[in-house]
Homo-oligomer: A and B are copies of this chain.
Amino acid sequence: MRILIVNVNTTEAITEAIAQQARAVAAPGTEIVGLTPWFGAESVEGNFESYLAAIAVMDRVLAYEGPYDAVIQAGYGEHGREGLQELLNVPVVDITDAAASTAMYLGHAYSVVTTLDRTVPLIEDRLKLSGLYDRCASVRASGLAVLELEADPQRAVEAIVEQAERAVHDDKAEVICLGCGGMAGLDEQIRQRTGVPVVDGVSAAVTIAESLVRMGLSTSKVRTYATPRVKKVVGWPMRLGR
């Protein structure tokens, strides 16, 4: 089975880190293909950048020529998953949802630790729309930007551990979700430091995508995610910056 995993920002190094994390958890026989959008922001930290990423991700996935069995959108709290679901017939899994639905099997409440404070409402809103917010104890910001995480993983670990501990003690979280695709690979260290299960959304998404494919399940086409109607669309596909 082949799974496409799409970064939401244009920084190749993050795509590689994500793909590496995905491959580490993938079942034998699963091929992971990492994709980087051809346009958009080098890091996605807000609504404008997230909307742009939504379109760039769809554009990039549609441009992929080979066959594939599932798509993972590897941005935490980002827009666009519903669009991919309309455009594709294979299952689409967002890492925000994947981390949350996985965390709910591990404890009574979970918290998300993310990057900047400004992204907190985006994550909360996505979880609300996905119907996975009821048992969310909190979404907390580490204060580090996406590229800072990337540049200094050890500092990232410290900042995430600090918020994770507050989440456990003050907010009564029992599980921590890593709230950024760029945090892929830090889960084990944070688990050791906090003593609670730590869910990496990329890993979780790979297992969910594989599972859906294995069960022969894909997006329902009866209503919300029906294929777009045939109509005139100007400027699409975009293939900008290619």
Q: Which residues of A line the B interface, CB within 8 A?
A: 10, 25, 27, 38-43, 45-52, 54-56, 58, 79-80, 82-83, 85-87, 91-93, 97, 101-102, 104-109, 117-118, 120-122, 125, 128-135, 145, 168, 172, 174-175, 195-197, 199-200, 203-204, 207-208, 210-212, 214-215, 217-220, 222-226, 228-229, 231-236, 238, 240-241
Contact = CB atoms under 8 A, between A and B. Distances in A.
A237 to B, nearest CB: 10
B235 A40 contact: yes
A114 B85 CA distance: 22
Contact of A106 (B41, B91, B231): B91
Contact of A105 (B47, B174, B208): B208
Number of copies of chain A assembled together = 6
A232 B42 contact: yes
6 contacts: A52-B233, A105-B212, A197-B219, A197-B220, A211-B211, A235-B241
Q: Which of A87, A207, A235, A236 has the most CB of B within 10 A?
A: A235
Contacts of A172: 120, 223
B47 A83 contact: yes
Given A38-B235, A215-B203, A240-B238, A48 B83 contact: yes
Contacts of A48: 58, 83, 86-87, 228
Q: Which of A10, A208, A225, A240 has the most CB of B within 10 A?
A: A225
Contact of A220 (B86, B196, B236, B240): B196
A89 to B, nearest CB: 12
Given A47-B83, A86-B48, A107 B225 contact: yes
A80 B217 CA distance: 29
B236 A52 contact: yes
A56 to B, nearest CB: 8
A40 to B, nearest CB: 6
Question: Would you list the 4 A-B pairs with minimal beta carbon distance, nearest first?
Answer: A39-B235, A207-B211, A131-B134, A131-B135
A108 B135 CA distance: 19
Contacts of A42: 231-233
A102 B46 CA distance: 23
A232 B41 CA distance: 6
Query: Which of A108, A195, A196 is packed against the most chain B CB atoms within 10 Å?
Result: A108
